[in-house]
């Protein structure tokens, strides 16, 4: 399984389950963040196995972790969404003329 090659910082704010920007981001104890609905849906499926894992790093939890909304992350994602809706700003490298 090859990891998709991600280059954008935006990836840090994406959910490994739906691969989109976090929606109602929650952070679990291994430090990874997911949409509230995604992680709950993921764990609902694992419920039968009585084992819960992080969809990102496969860290397993013996009991279903309590997730709480990461409000700080939510704000960052909101801002990111707004900038993503607009046209991406041209990434012209700041001219630093080291000329003669
Ligand atoms: Zn998601
Ligand atoms: Zn993890």
Q: What does pLDDT average to in each consecutive run of 10 residues of the chain (100 residues)?
A: 52 89 94 95 94 95 91 92 71 60
Q: What is the pLDDT of residue 10?
A: 66
Mean pLDDT of the chain: 83
Instruction: Report the Cα 41 to chain-centroid distance in Å.
Output: 16
Q: What is the pLDDT of residue 25?
A: 96
Domains and CATH numbers, the chain: 9-78 (3.30.40.10)
Instruction: Find, among 33, 44, 39, the residue nearest to 73 by Cα.
Output: 33
In this prediction, what percent of the chain has a pLDDT beyond 70? 76
Distance 86 CA to ligand 2 centre (A): 31
Instruction: Report the Cα 58 to chain-centroid distance in Å.
Output: 15
- Closest ligand to C-alpha of residue 22 is 1
Q: What is the pLDDT of residue 68?
A: 87
């Amino acid at each position: 399984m090859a990891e998709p090659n991600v280059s954008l910082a935006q990836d840090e704010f994406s959910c490994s389950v739906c691969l989109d920007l976090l929606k109602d981001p929650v952070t679990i104890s291994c430090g990874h963040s997911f949409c509230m609905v995604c992680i709950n849906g993921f764990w609902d499926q694992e419920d039968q196995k009585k084992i819960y894992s992080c969809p990102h790093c496969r860290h397993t939890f013996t009991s279903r972790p309590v997730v709480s909304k990461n409000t700080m992350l939510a704000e960052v994602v909101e801002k990111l969404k707004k900038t993503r809706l607009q046209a991406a700003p041209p990434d012209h490298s700041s001219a630093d003329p080291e000329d003669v």
